[in-house]
Amino acid sequence: MKHTDYDFGLVGLGVMGRNFILNVADNNFKAFGYDLDQEKVDALKTEGGNLERVNAATDIKTFVNALATPRKIMLLVPAGKIVDAVIENLLPFLAKDDIIIDGGNSFFTDTDRREAYLQEKGIHFFGSGVSGGAKGARKGPSIMPGGNKEAYAHVKPIFEAVSAKYNGEPCVAYLGPKSAGNYVKMVHNGIEYGLMQLTSEIYDILRKAGGLTNDELHTVFDTWNKGRLQSFLVEITAEIFNQKDDKSDGRLVDKILDKAKQKGTGKWTSQNAMDLGIPVPSIDIAVSMREISSLKEERVEADGLYGRPEVAPIAKEDLIAMAEEALYFAFITTYAQGLHQLADASKEYKYELDLSVIAKIWRAGCIIRAGLLADISSAYVENKDLKNLLLAPSFVPKVQKAVPSSRKLVAYAATSGIPMPGLSNSLTYFDAYTSSKLPLNLIQAQRDHFGSHTYERTDVEGIFHTEWGA
């Protein structure tokens, strides 16, 4: 085997990695995989069929020597210490200007650290978010690369070929220097948390207040997916309600325990937003709700201790109409929060992000893909310095029309004892962001009273302190 035989290497042949490398091979690039697990190596060879097109090994030297130079090696392994371990194992066999790409959900500061470390050794390194799950990896994901632009140029033809396409346009673009790719993927996942929480709340109120059956829920979400709420998450939600349970009678969704797990990217988004001073309450509460869901035994105990108000009667058709408008409103505000965070992070970390491009590459392939993103991209094309999506002229009438139903649904849920924290937080964010006067003047007075933290005035410029009560 000549070392120039293969165009692309991939470390980590789990379901995601195997599907991605087969996607590369399907697009006429020769790909070579590496994994310590012989069964995974054999599975790739079997599924790939033609070893001249796609091959794999458990020996790292064989793997590296099979690749054309500069070697292009992508890692699809769990974030954390495993990434560092794989890098160290590869280094003895690499040459100057070889390229390592981290395709996992690594924390962005780890990517910056690894890039600096490998740059000293003459090796290019960059992070590239990949979204779309296992099916997306096989058929076309959304890819979010950032880092060394010259190094990315070597991989660009491959990434553009394997990525999802929206009206023929590849859902991949160079996003910016350093850890821009991993950062954008992190915020993508934060938005994903928010949208999933919102969708679950709408499901909850439709069944508790509207008494919708799984068949009716399927019909409602399927109908919504054909309209302005068209999105991957609404699409799969409709499918979920149709899935029969293979272990007993009924639908599978009713047998799934209400404890949601998380891998950390939503939490990272929330934490970093706080570091930057950017409000993302729809994402914050989505993370918190997964944590509350884990307290199953305590929730069951508390449910027996406290009464719950009766659900007020409501016409099913009216509830469905309100729910559609409220979900549309909350989707917009959640995207607005995530994009606001990206805009400020771009300034803080010098990423040079183009939000219109980011919205474009999210239009297909990724988990948060939605018809709404075409409008979002257009809004940032019209004004690349747009401070917040809620300020976009094209979105003002959309939001104005949906706000009244959102208010009604939140009020109805509160009086009926049905938790809707995602929608409530989205509405509160909207009300606070669109208020020219907030009561935070009192907080500044309190801070100055007990801690001499000073304050500013509305009538005179400067910084002031008062000896309160003197």
263 is in an annotated binding site: yes
Mean pLDDT confidence for 5-23: 94
Q: How far is CA 146 from the centre of its chain?
A: 16
- Average pLDDT over the chain, rounded to an integer: 95
Q: Residue 14, class by beta-carbon neighbours within 10 Å (0-12 exposed, 13-18 middle, 19+ buried)? A: middle
All structural domains of the chain: 8-174 (3.40.50.720), 185-434 (1.10.1040.10), 439-469 (1.20.5.320)
Q: Which positions are catalytic?
A: 185, 192
Tell me: pLDDT of 3 over 60: no
CA pseudo-torsion sign 354, 356, 358, 361: negative
Question: ω into residue 70 within 30 of 0, thus cis?
Answer: yes
Tell me: pLDDT of 6 over 80: yes
Distance CA 121, CA 244 (A): 54
pLDDT tens profile 303-362: 999 988 999 899 999 999 999 999 999 999 999 999 999 999 999 999 999 999 999 999
pLDDT tens profile 162-177: 999 999 999 999 999 9
pLDDT tens profile 413-461: 999 999 999 999 999 999 999 999 999 999 999 999 999 999 999 999 9
State the CB neighbour count (10 A cutoff) for residue 71: 26
447 is in an annotated binding site: yes
Give the per-residue pLDDT at 5: 87
Tell me: pLDDT of 136 over 80: yes
Tell me the pTM: 0.95
Distance CA 22, CA 1 (A): 20
Tell me: pLDDT of 286 over 60: yes
State the CB neighbour count (10 A cutoff) for residue 18: 26
Give the per-residue pLDDT at 98: 96
Tell me: pLDDT of 69 over 70: yes
Q: Which two tokens stand for residue 27?
A: 């697009």
**Phi and psi (nearest 5°) for 145?**
-85, 145
CA pseudo-torsion sign 418, 312, 402, 377: positive
Closest CA to 181 of 19, 352, 333, 332: 352
pLDDT tens profile 145-154: 999 999 999 9
Tell me: pLDDT of 365 over 70: yes
Tell me: pLDDT of 52 over 90: no
Task: With beta carbons less than 8 A apart as the criterion, state whether 406 and 424 touch.
Answer: no
CA pseudo-torsion sign 314, 318, 323, 325: negative
384 is in an annotated binding site: no
453 is in an annotated binding site: yes
pLDDT confidence bin for 1, thresholds 50/70/90: very low
105 is in an annotated binding site: yes
Mean pLDDT confidence for 398-426: 97
User: What percentage of the chain exceeds 90 in pLDDT?
Assistant: 93
pLDDT tens profile 204-217: 999 999 999 999 99
Tell me: pLDDT of 2 over 50: no
193 is in an annotated binding site: yes
Mean pLDDT confidence for 246-271: 90
Q: Which two tokens stand for residue 207?
A: 């069944």
Closest CA to 332 of 241, 415, 430, 254: 430
142 is in an annotated binding site: no
Mean pLDDT confidence for 252-271: 90
Tell me: pLDDT of 122 over 70: yes
Give the per-residue pLDDT at 153: 95
